[in-house]
Amino acid sequence: MQRFSALSLIRHSLGGHLGWQPQWRSPEPKAEYDAVIVGAGGHGLGAAYYLAKEHGMRNIAVLEKGWLGGGNTGRNTTIIRSNYLYDESAALYDHALKLWENLSQELNYNVMFSQRGVMMLAHTVHDVQIFKRHVHANRANGVDNEWLTAEQAKEFCPPLHIGPGLRYPVLGAALQRRGGTARDDAVAWGYARAADALGVDIIQNCEVTAIRRGTAGGVEAVETSRGAIRTRRVGVSAAGNTSVVMAMAGLRMPLESYPLQALVSEPVKPMFPCVVMSNTIHAYISQSDKGELVIGAGMDAYVSYSQHGALHIPAQTLEAICELFPMFRRMRMLRNWGGIVDVTPDRSPILAKTEVAGLYVNCGWGTGGFKATPGAAHLLAWTIARDEPHPINAPFTIERFRDGVVIDEAAAAAVSH
Nearer to ligand FAD, 76 or 141 (CB): 76
Of 23, 62, 70, 25, which Cα lies nearest the Cα of 45? 62
Binding flag, residue 168, other proteins (CB under 8 A): no
Which one of 86, 370, 382, 396 is in contact with ligand FAD (CB under 6 A)? 370
345 interface partner picked from other proteins, ligand FAD, none, CB below 5 to 8 A per type: other proteins
How many CA atoms, within 13 angstroms, populate the side-chain half-sphere of residue 301? 3
Binding flag, residue 293, ligand FAD (CB under 6 A): no
The alpha-helical segments, DSSP class H, found in 15-111 are 42-55, 87-100, 103-107
Q: Round to whole Å and give the CA distance between 8 and 14.
A: 10
Q: Which of residues 37-76 bind other proteins (CB under 8 A)?
A: none
Stretch that binds other proteins, among 40-48, 98-106, 142-150, 246-254 (CB under 8 A): 246-254
Binding flag, residue 141, ligand FAD (CB under 6 A): no
Q: Round to whole Å and give the CA distance between 279 and 83.
A: 14
For residue 128, count other CB atoms closer than 10 A to its CB: 16
**Residue 212 and residue 42 in contact, taking contact as beta carbons nearer than 8 Å:** no
Binding flag, residue 353, ligand FAD (CB under 6 A): no
**Residue 229 and residue 31 in contact, taking contact as beta carbons nearer than 8 Å:** yes
Q: How far is the CB of 88 from other proteins (least distance, A)?
A: 18
Of 381, 388, 389, which Cα lies nearest the Cα of 51? 381
Q: Which of residues 276-335 bind other proteins (CB under 8 A)?
A: 301-306, 310-312
Q: Which of residues 48-77 bind ligand FAD (CB under 6 A)?
A: 63-66, 70-73, 75-77
Binding flag, residue 38, ligand FAD (CB under 6 A): yes
305 interface partner picked from ligand FAD, other proteins, none, CB below 5 to 8 A per type: other proteins
Stretch that binds ligand FAD, among 82-90, 258-266, 313-321, 404-412 (CB under 6 A): 258-266
**Residue 297 and residue 317 in contact, taking contact as beta carbons nearer than 8 Å:** yes
Binding flag, residue 79, ligand FAD (CB under 6 A): yes
The alpha-helical segments, DSSP class H, found in 306-406 are 312-324, 373-386, 400-403
Q: Which of residues 380-409 bind other proteins (CB under 8 A)?
A: 401-403
Dihedral of the alpha carbons of 312, 316, 318, 323, in degrees to the nearest 10: 160
- Sites of contact with other proteins (CB under 8 A): 241, 243-244, 252-257, 301-306, 310-312, 345, 401-403
- Sites of contact with ligand FAD (CB under 6 A): 38-44, 63-66, 70-73, 75-79, 207-208, 237-239, 241, 245, 260-262, 296, 339, 341, 365, 367-371, 417
